[in-house]
Structure 1
Amino acid sequence: MSNKLNKASVLVLNRNWQAINIRTPEDAICQMATGVATGLEIEAEDQIRPVSWAEWLTLPIREQDEAVRTVRGAIRMPTVIVLANFAKVPKKRPKFGAKAIRERDGNRCQYTGRVLKPEEGSIDHILPVSRGGKDAWDNCVWACKAINSRKGNRLPDEAGLKLLTMPKAPKELPMTALIRNHQGIADWRLFLSE
Structure 2
Amino acid sequence: MTSTAHILDRTVVVFSRNYLPISSVNIRRAIALIVLGKAEALDFGSETWFVRSPNLVIAVPQHLRLTIASTERIWKIPPVNRREVLKRDNQSCQYCGSNKRLTLDHVIPVSKGGEHKWDNVVTACESCNQRKRDRTPLEAGMPLHTKPKAPMHPTVAFAENFWHGESAYSP
TM-score by length of 2: 0.53
Counterpart Cα distance in 2 of 1:182 and 1:172: 17
Q: 1:176 aligns with which of 151, 156, 164?
A: 156
AA in 2 matched with 1:182: A
Q: Which runs of 4+ in 1 moved over 4 A?
A: 87-95, 119-122
Compare CA radii of gyration and give the structure with the larger one. Answer: 1
Per the TM alignment, residue 76 of structure 1 is displaced from its structure 2 partner at its CA by 2.9
2:52 is paired with a residue whose SS is strand
- The alpha-carbon distance between structure 1 residues 31 and 146, as it changes in their structure 2 partners (threshold 3 A), is same
AA in 1 matched with 2:38: V
Maintained 8 Å contact 2:10/2:27: yes
Q: Does 1:146 align with 2:134?
A: no
Counterpart Cα distance in 2 of 1:36 and 1:120: 44
Maintained 8 Å contact 2:99/2:125: yes
Per the TM alignment, residue 125 of structure 1 is displaced from its structure 2 partner at its CA by 3.9
1:29-73: CA deviations, max 9, x gaps?
Answer: 2211222111113326xxxxxxxxxxxxxxxxxxx5433221136
* Structure 2: gaps (5+ residues): 106-116, 138-147, 162-166
2:19 is paired with a residue whose SS is coil
Q: What's the counterpart of residue 38 of structure 2?
A: 36
1:35 is paired with a residue whose SS is coil
Q: What's the counterpart of residue 66 of structure 1?
A: 49
* Structure 1: gaps (5+ residues): 45-63, 110-115, 127-136, 152-158, 186-194
Alignment coverage as a number of residue pairs: 134
Maintained 8 Å contact 1:11/1:80: yes
Matched residues, percent identical?
19
- The alpha-carbon distance between structure 1 residues 147 and 118, as it changes in their structure 2 partners (threshold 3 A), is closer
Q: What's the counterpart of residue 161 of structure 1?
A: 134
Q: What's the counterpart of residue 102 of structure 2?
A: 123
RMSD of aligned residue pairs (Cα, Å): 4.4
- The alpha-carbon distance between structure 1 residues 122 and 18, as it changes in their structure 2 partners (threshold 3 A), is farther
